[in-house]
Amino acid sequence: MSGHSKWATTKHKKAVVDAKRSKLFAKLVKDVEVAARTGGGDPAGNPTLYDAIQKAKKSSVPGDNIDRAVKRGSGAEAGGVDYQTIMYEGYAPNGVAVLVECLTDNRNRAASDVRVAFTRNGGTMADPGSVSYLFTRKGVVTVPAEGLAEDDVLLAVLDAGAEEVNAAGEVYEVVCEATDLVAVRTALQDAGLDYDSADAQFVPSMQVELDAEGAEKVLRLVDALEDSDDVQNVYANFDVSDEVLAQVG
């Protein structure tokens, strides 16, 4: 299980109650709007929209904000923005590979934000393709672990195409091919198991183990990147133990 995944889970829970909540809400609402623009405004016929709405609801985004995002994206209401997806690649301290996924209406601003975050936090930007080969696009479904054994989750998703189930703090992460994401999520629902989010992510094929000092440097860069309104997701191939994660807070 990647350290960044454990960190992201912890941070996601914190974000709902701290000052970064509005920034998190904005990113989740943007996901909803883009999904509606790409595949239409009916969640029943647009699995990506269905999952974006689910994730937003689980993170306590107000229903009105979600509804308006669907309407803007589908063209039922004015004010929608034509966002572009742009990927940037780079290295954090300790040779950690970083993929930065942006959703932006201003390519120059996004590039500038990403470059500044790397430069000021001990990282370097890299040429396209020099980092991305270390990651594979996978479907990832997070399931609350409370009251559930790992085997319960595994049994529910095994026949739907799940490749592995990993314990990540207070959730289990079910990993599958991106094309099997809807089947795996549906299998969980059919088994009566709740899930927090289901989306396609970039999963690292190898990981760099970090001590507390290294983790602090890498997480400082990840935080700086995620602070940009244009940055939607940051993926990195580092791993930290629970002890190190507790040390860096």
Asked if the model's pLDDT at residue 16 lies above 70, the reply is: no
CATH number at residue 117: 3.30.70.980
Residues in the chain: 249
Q: What is the mean pLDDT of the chain?
A: 90
Does 40 fall in a domain?
yes
Asked if the model's pLDDT at residue 221 lies above 60, the reply is: yes
Give which of 112, 108, 111 is closest to 128, Cα–Cα: 111
Does 220 fall in a domain?
yes
Q: Are residues 60 and 8 in the same domain?
A: yes
Residue 1 is predicted with a pLDDT of 42
Residue 33 is predicted with a pLDDT of 95
Angle in degrees, CA 98, 55, 96, rounded to 5 = 10
**CA separation for the pair 162, 153 (Å, rounded):** 10
pLDDT digits (tens, 9 = 90+) for 129-150: 999 999 999 999 999 998 899 9
Domain boundary at 27, 55, 74, which? 74
Tell me how far CA of residue 189 lies from CA of 156, 157, 214, 234, in angstroms. Answer: 9, 10, 39, 28
Number of domains in the chain: 3
With both helix axes pointing from N to C terminus, report the angle between 47-58 and 21-39 in degrees, rounded to the nearest 10. Answer: 160
Residue 78 is predicted with a pLDDT of 81
